[in-house]
Amino acid sequence: MNQVPGNSSALPPPVFHEDSGALRFWVMLPEGRPIGASVSRQVLHYRFQARLDGSDAVATYEAHCGEMDAAVVRRAQDGSIEPVMLRENDLRPQRV
């Protein structure tokens, strides 16, 4: 869950920002640089069946952090700049 090997406190915890209606979180990129990201409560609701009011946004992130973190890394590697705003399309299962 959003941890760096040997330093689990390197990144701030995820938070739901009421005013923007988005979950804000941080991901450590493969080169060791942290990057901020966010995902709207609507995307959490439609992709992960989270509550539309955002009250379970942090718990939803914790349950699906691997998928969300991987999407942030993909977007950053494709040139997105901070903060990376995840869209529903970013969280669809990736084809191999």
Q: Is-contact 86 38, C-beta < 8 A?
A: yes
**Count of alpha carbons within 13 angstroms of residue 83, beta-carbon side:** 13
Q: Which residues pair with 82 in a beta bridge?
A: none
| pLDDT for 2 beyond 90 | no
Residue 5 in any domain: the answer is: no
pLDDT, tens only, 53-91: 999 999 999 999 999 999 999 999 999 999 999 999 999
pLDDT, tens only, 12-37: 999 999 999 999 999 999 999 999 99
d(CA 27, CA 74): 11
Predicted confidence at residue 92, as pLDDT, reads: 80
The parent domain of residue 36 ranges over 15-91
| pLDDT for 4 beyond 60 | no
Mean pLDDT for the chain?
A: 90
d(CA 20, CA 2): 22
CATH code at position 49: 3.30.160
Residue 2 in any domain: the answer is: no
Q: How many domains does the chain have?
A: 1
Residue 8 in any domain: the answer is: no
Specify the pairing of strand 34-40 against strand 15-17.
Answer: unpaired
Predicted confidence at residue 10, as pLDDT, reads: 84
Q: Which residues pair with 37 in a beta bridge?
A: 25, 84
